[in-house]
Amino acid sequence: MSHTRPRRLWRSVAALTAALALSAGCASSGQGGAAQGNGQKQEGGDVTFLIDSLGDTWIPNNSAISSFQGHIWGHVTDKLVYVDENGEVSPWVAESWEQNDDATQFTLHLRDGVTFSDGSPVDADAVVANLDIWAKGRPDDGINPIGLFPKTYQSATAVDPLTVQVSFNAPTLGFIPTLGYHGSILISPETLALPAEEQADLSNDIGSGPFTVASWKEGDSVVLEKRDDYDWGPEALDHDGPATLDTLTYKLVAEPSVRTAAVQSGQAQVAYNPSPQELGPFKEQGFTVAAPRYLGFVNGFALNTQVAPFNDVKVRQAVQHGIDRDQILSTVYTDDWLPAESFIQSNVPGATDHSADFAFDPDKAAVLLDEAGWKAGADGKRSKDGTPLSLTLYPNPYLATSKSVDELVAQQLGDLGFTVDIQAYDVVTYGEKVAIGNPSVPAYEVTRSFIDAGTVAGVLTDANNGEDWFNLGQSDPELTQLGSEVASSVSTDERAPVLDELQGYVLQQGYFVPLTQIVQRLYLQSPKLKGVTYNGVAYANFYTAYLEG
Amino acid sequence: MGVTRQPRRAPRPYLTYAVQRVVQAVVVVLLAYCFTFLVISVLPGDPVTATLRNPQNNFTEEEVQRIVAYYGLDRPVWVQLWEALSRFVQGDLGVSLRSNLPVSTLIGDVLGSTVVLAVSALVVALALAFGIAYGTRNAPAPVAKALRAFPSLFLSVPNFVIGLLLINVFAFNLGLFQVIDSEGPAATFFAAIALGIPVSAQVAEVLIANLDHEARQDYAGFATSRGLSRSRLFWRHLLKPSSLPVVTVIALTVGELLGGALITETIFGRTGIGSLVQRSVTTQDLPVLQAVVVLAAVVFVVVNLVVDLVYPLLDPRVDLRGAARAPRTAAEQPLETTQGASA
């Protein structure tokens, strides 16, 4: 039989080629432009949102940080305040608030008439129960605290049914903005008292949002339907009463090309996380691409100042000047991405433009490396006393484009004389092996959202259980001083100049190497879908959305 | 087994054989459970601490310790194994570390989808395989020759290519099914085609090889010389002896139907065992993985047992006296040769 093999193989190859050509043909020729709406707003309607994952657990406190479940929580629950994409804080369930002079005590005045979907009121007692569980969790029962909730939290008390007083043991200017973060969702106290296993069942998680959970299937889909008696949306969204859409269906489709093709063919209205390179043709066909930026740190490297070669400021600066950000933007991303101007995203209130401190300048980078004693050998690779100038990058598994970006960075630094190695891990292994300050991690790739620039103070040094991103401890007095000034600020006006100085200092010392601003949530939408809003953590909200006929 | 002189059709070999096989099955299942546990325990990290130690979460060490203690992950591995094993023996599969839901609920939710897909894929595979095999003996020469290339073609086209092609043509261009309604009959039909095609290749290979073998036998030549038509020869004489080994192949492809289901499920957006495994592997969700491995072990053991017990009933030439494994060896012979040819 062996003589037939080559012929069989040839036939198979031919048939496979034909099949692929057919498939490609169908993909490109089947659909023309996108069907545009007629400009008429429809009442009701159903929207299908295709998503690549629905995260892990639905225990409200444990799931909050996930980038996927926030989509559901944003519709099923309300928050005390609303934070828009520019970091502007405005009233929601909390109608107004006051703070004392040293920002250690806050009084929240709640809106009257807000109810959870089981009918129980969202009153001061309910808010106190939520604040307590956000701050402390129930660790012995497997309920985590909310990671970003201020550790300075002392207690909350219900002064009257619509007034809550919250105390902190140190100035906590970030408290109010944190109430708009995706972890700070108001859940019925009855749900909060349930054991972890029952909270993990999404149907038991009662919120006060414009939608309720109609049905859900683990790892498959969540169907939400509008709550007719909802009438307490955020003022900033300028929309009264219940949502316009009848239902929202979040359906898990793991394959990105199936998600986008389903939107293209009209079977779904939104595809989450399409690959950036794929977007150009869709835009030309008239589809909507939304690339909202979140509030947070830019994508970049926090350098470990205690290990060679980054224990030398000149090498750190050389890396800053050796990276061509425009090339990253044009190769990996589209026009919707912006270069970094600082180490925090430019839409964060208090962010200032320091791009000159780390502008692409390969000649300057080469001079800095020469000065630092790293000389280029015959092969162009630099070394000092026989030690090669080497660096290992660990792409951040939470950012899909991270590996492509790191590959470009490796190339660019390679041109400069670095020997760059890339080590990619999955989420669990990454969490285990790649930690800030680990001697084998010279550059930690940051992708992180926050809601208030005060968060910056908590990462710079190890003061107050800080994360110590640059492995400096408190050995840099100026950085420690600036950090504590930011942390102890009692008003944003007072904080702004310090924050500006701090950004300049961190960048001039080469502690942080910014790459690009982050768009972690990317949406491809049907042109008939209008009125979608994006909050400060870039989640699409369909409370105000509607379909055109 | 050393059972030699027993009256024909005595129940004894069946009974001994069955008991022996069931005991074996239980041991295999328990070993699979422990083995999965140990293998995953050796890997660094677990889903709970990976999340807790993510700097973004900013938990204090004390909080981390208490939460880890809630999940029982702070105890020595052998204590954890013992507790898991004692729970398992009582029928409790534990709670998922990833989703905090009971493992039995998670598996119960997805099992139906996978069974429906696997059974429909098997039907598709058998229909295709028998269709191709029939064609190779009865169609005009050029067509028959072309049909012989189909099994290797089916095996060489990756599952996901077939799946994407089907979705592109039938869902997005012709609108015959909705991607959203992934468990609906239409979507299931196309998913079954995607999954059934590679499986049909193996069945068809075995069938074709066996048909060729039978056709060379004297009785076939004799029947032809007496003027029996090709199709009558096929239906009345060749098909039955050639199909018996297919039963063995089906038993072997059960694994492929479960494993291949992962890719098909991912592409068609179905939520079955495959996608549950995928989510659990990436998060090292030990209790779920253990349960799935046990389930797979049970399915394999049961299917093989059924095949071994059914075989003697299908083929009068095989009986259980002598050696229980005799039918399997006979059946595997053609499979090995054809696999060699298609590799």
Which CATH number characterizes residue A244's domain? Answer: 3.40.190.10
pLDDT at residue B323, rounded to an integer = 44
Q: How many CB atoms lie within 10 A of CB A22?
A: 13
Q: Kindly tell me if the per-residue pLDDT of A316 is higher than 50.
A: yes
Place of tokens 């709970």: B48
Cα A296 to Cα A347: distance, rounded to the nearest angstrom: 9
With beta carbons less than 8 A apart as the criterion, state whether A305 and A461 touch: no
A334-338, A452-456, B180-184, B316-320, range with the lowest pLDDT: B316-320
Per-residue pLDDT of A126-156, as tens digits, reads: 999 999 999 999 999 989 888 778 888 999 9
Model confidence pLDDT, tens digit, residues A407-439 = 999 999 999 999 999 999 877 778 778 888 788
Sign of CA dihedral A538, A542, A544, A545: positive
Res B46 pLDDT > 70: yes
List the one residue out of B160, B205, B138, B233 whose CA is nearest residue B342: B205
pLDDT, greater one: B48 or A179: A179
Mean pLDDT of B212-239: 81
Predicted confidence band of residue B13 (pLDDT cuts 50, 70, 90): low
Q: What is the helix (H) or strand (E) element at residue A445, kind and residue range? A: strand A443-446
pLDDT (0 to 100) of residue A115 = 97
- The CATH architecture assigned to B112-314 reads Orthogonal Bundle (1.10)
A147 and A1 inside one domain:
no
Q: Which residues contact A434 (CB under 8 A, 6 or more apart)?
A: A394, A425, A441, A444
CA triple B144-B150-B151, angle to 5 deg: 120
Q: Which residue of B has its CA nearest to A446?
A: B56
Is A431 in contact with B45 (Cβ distance < 8 A)? Answer: yes
Specify whether A126 is located in the same domain as A186: yes
In this predicted structure, what is the pLDDT of residue A14?
46
Q: Give yes or no for residue B47 having a pLDDT over 80.
A: no
Q: Give me the pLDDT at residue A64, please.
A: 59
Residue B333: what pLDDT?
A: 44
Tell me: pLDDT of B227 over 50: yes
Question: Angle CA(A231)–CA(A236)–CA(A237) in degrees, nearest 5?
Answer: 60
Provide the pLDDT for residue B55.
Answer: 63
State how far residue B9 is from chain A, nearest Cα, in angstroms. Answer: 41
Rounded CA-CA distance B61/A477 in Å is 27
CATH of the domain at A96: 3.90.76.10
Give the residue on B whose Cα is nearest the Cα of A145: B59
pLDDT in tens, A355-366: 999 999 999 999
Question: For residue A253, which residues of chain B lie inside 8 Å, CB to CB?
Answer: 179, 269
CB A49 within 8 A of CB A273: no
pLDDT of A18 higher than 70: no
Q: How far apart are CA A396 and CA A402, in angstroms?
A: 6
Q: What is the ipTM of this complex?
A: 0.75
Residue A411 in any domain: the answer is yes
Q: Do A11 and B44 touch (CB under 8 A)?
A: no
Q: What is the mean pLDDT of residues B195-208?
A: 88
Q: B27 pLDDT exceeds 90?
A: no
**Do A429 and A482 fall within a single domain?**
yes
Question: Would you call B152 and A8 a contact, using CB atoms and an 8 Å cutoff?
Answer: yes
Q: Are residues A347 and A494 in the same domain?
A: yes
Nearest to B271 among A15, A16, A220 (CB): A220
Measured CA to CA in angstroms, residue A485 lies from A354, A437, A458, B225 at distances of 20, 24, 11, 103
Please tell me which of the candidates B55, B98, B283 has its beta carbon nearest to residue A436.
Answer: B55
Residue A67 belongs to a domain: no
Is there a contact between B269 and A433 if contact means CB atoms under 8 Å apart? no
How far apart, in Å, are the Cα atoms of A175 and each of A100, A220, A481? 13, 35, 22
A286 φψ region: left (φ > 0), alpha (ψ -120 to 50), beta (else): left
Is the same domain home to A130 and A269? no
Are A365 and A501 in the same domain?
A: yes
Report d(CA A105, CA A170) in Å as an integer. Answer: 9
pLDDT at A105: 96
pLDDT surpasses 80 at B17: no
> How far, in Å, CA of B11 to CA of A549, rounded?
73
Percent of chain A with pLDDT over 70: 93
Contacts of B23 (CB under 8 A, 6+ apart): none
Q: Is the pLDDT of residue A404 over 70?
A: yes
The residue among B259, B146, B253, B242 whose CA lies nearest residue B202 is: B253
Confidence category of residue A204, pLDDT binned at 50, 70, 90: very high
So what's the pLDDT on residue B11? Answer: 52
Beta bridge partners, A110, equal: A94
pLDDT in tens, A501-522: 999 999 999 999 999 998 888 9
**Structural domains in chain A (count):** 3
End position of a domain, from candidates A196, A223, A247: A196
Residue type, B324: A
Task: Please indicate, yes or no, whether residues A396 and A438 belong to a single structural domain of this protein.
Answer: yes
Cβ distance of A196 and B173 shorter than 8 Å: no
Does A31 contact B172 at a Cβ distance shorter than 8 Å? yes
Assess whether A368 and A485 both reside in one domain: yes
Model pLDDT for residues B102-117, shown as the tens digit of each residue? 999 999 988 888 889 9
The answer, yes or no, to whether the previous bond of A349 is cis (omega within 30 of 0) is no
A262 and A312 fall within a common domain = no
Among A147, A197, A268, beta carbon nearest to B180: A268
pLDDT score of B311 more than 80: no
| Residue A291 is assigned to a structural domain of this protein | no
The average confidence (pLDDT) of chain B is 79
> Quick one: A124 and A169 in the same domain?
yes
What is the reported pTM? 0.81
Where in chain B are the domains? 112-314
pLDDT of B28 reads 84
Instruction: Identify whether A62 is part of a domain.
Output: no
Residue A58 lies in a domain: no
Asked if A134 and A244 sit in the same domain, the reply is: no
Half-sphere CA count of A445, side-chain side, radius 13 A: 27
Amino acid at B231: S
What residues does A421 pair with on adjacent strands? A392
Same domain, A248 and A367: no
Mean pLDDT of chain A: 88
Task: Please state, in angstroms and as integers, the Cα–Cα distance from residue B124 to each residue in A23, B118, B140, B194, following that order.
Answer: 22, 10, 24, 9
Segment of A157-166, A440-449, A532-541 carrying the highest mean pLDDT: A157-166
Identify the residue among B46, B56, B93, B155 best suited for mutation to test binding to A, counting A beta carbons within 10 A and taking the highest: B56
Arithmetic mean of pLDDT, A171-178? 90
pLDDT one-digit tens code per residue, A239-263: 999 999 999 999 998 888 889 999 9
The domain in which residue A383 lies consists of: 299-516
Indicate if the alpha-carbon torsion angle B63, B66, B71, B75 is positive or negative: positive
